[in-house]
Structure 1
Amino acid sequence: MKHVELDKLDQRILAILQQDGRISNQQLAEQVGLSPAACWRRVRALEESGVIIGYSARLAPERVGQGLCVLVNLSLQRHTIDSTADIEQQVSSYPEVLQCFAVTGNSDFVLRVIVPDMESYDRFLNEKIFTLQGIAQVNSNFVLREIKNTQTLPM
């Protein structure tokens, strides 16, 4: 994917939208010092170029009954293109998996999993993770408290 050159106005627009994705175009234009039409064109161009990939609401997991966060390290038995792709596809289909990273080091994948409680996590492991073909080892790290959790990129 090609790097998109961003000027200072684009960077300011992105910083504001990351903090408040529901801001009106009028308010955004005022904050960055553009006319509403010029601001709208810039936001539209950022969307079309793939810099802005979507808008969403951030939820408090514990408020919606999803209070247990687990970082799961998966190690593979073998490293073939087909087996790795199959595991990636399977893991990506699990709604409990919010993020999946292919990593270097002691494991091959790190998953960020959110479930209601320990019983649900046990069920997730037994019904989903342990049924995956080609997994050599699973290591679970339970999050005690969240220090920082952001999707905001520095601009």
Structure 2
Amino acid sequence: MTEHVGARAAHPPLDRIDRRIVAELSRDGRLSVRTIAERVHISRTAAHNRLQQLVRRGVLTGFGAQVDRAALGLEVAAIVIVHVAEDADPQGIAKTLADLPFVERAQLTAGEPDIILTVSAPDQELLSIAILRDLHDVPGVAGVRSRLLVREFDGDGPAAALDHWEL
């Protein structure tokens, strides 16, 4: 499980070149240092050093593949809203839920709801088991509501924002 946190206050803001590097990697995490250097118009050495610095600073938390659920055999998915009991630890529960089978992502929120999950499974029956049994069995979970995902559309995420972000 990867835990994502807000910006690290101890570091200065990213400059235009760093933001462009992050944008390029957001589009394609497999880019070589050489290709990154060419796209942002810096030397390979400078690109390599900046990549290392972005990793050290925690801006880049990893490099991974984007997976098509259906191609993997996960045919159904749902967004699950989790309400935590009054006396429970929402962060601890979110971490526990993130480790359950079929849970792709757990997001702790400020306010209602307490936690939002993305859950996927090979079929409706296993999705129902994951939601109705597995999630409810976690101590501190007071209730869940789910919405079946019919279709998803990818946005550009950080890549689009970083392309237009000016200091």
Indicate the TM-score class for this superposition, using the shorter chain for normalisation: 0.7 to 0.9
Question: Could you tell me which residue of structure 1 aligns to residue 83 of structure 2?
Answer: 75
Q: 1:35–1:64: structure 2 CA closer, same or farther, 3 Å change rule? A: same
Deviations 1:36-72 (A, max 9, x none): 1111111111111111111001111000101211011
Task: Give the fraction of aligned pairs with identical amino acids, expressed as a percent.
Answer: 27
Q: 1:37–1:152: structure 2 CA closer, same or farther, 3 Å change rule? A: same
Q: 1:106–1:41: structure 2 CA closer, same or farther, 3 Å change rule? A: closer
How many angstroms does 1:78 deviate by?
A: 2.1
Question: Could you tell me which residue of structure 2 aligns to residue 90 of structure 1?
Answer: 96
How many aligned positions are there? 153
Alignment equivalent of 1:148, drawn from 146, 150, 154: 154
Q: Is contact 1:68-1:116 (8 Å) kept?
A: yes
Question: Could you tell me which residue of structure 2 aligns to residue 102 of structure 1?
Answer: 108
Please state whether the residue corresponding to 2:136 is helix, strand or coil: helix
Deviations 1:78-108 (A, max 9, x none): 2344xx3542332121141111122345432
Please state whether the residue corresponding to 1:74 is helix, strand or coil: strand
Q: 1:36–1:85: structure 2 CA closer, same or farther, 3 Å change rule? A: closer
Alignment equivalent of 1:26, drawn from 27, 34, 57: 34
Q: How many Å separate the matches in 2 of 1:149 and 1:67?
A: 21
* Uncovered stretches (5+) of structure 2, i.e. residues with no partner: 1-7, 163-167
Q: How many Å separate the matches in 1 of 2:123 and 2:77?
A: 9
Q: 1:74–1:121: structure 2 CA closer, same or farther, 3 Å change rule? A: same
Q: Is contact 2:77-2:127 (8 Å) kept?
A: no
Cα RMSD over matched residues?
Answer: 2.0
* Uncovered stretches (5+) of structure 1, i.e. residues with no partner: none
1:9 is aligned to 2:7: no
Q: Is contact 2:105-2:117 (8 Å) kept?
A: yes
TM-score (norm 2): 0.80
Q: 1:15–1:89: structure 2 CA closer, same or farther, 3 Å change rule? A: closer
Q: How many Å separate the matches in 2 of 1:116 and 1:129?
A: 17
Please state whether the residue corresponding to 2:120 is helix, strand or coil: strand
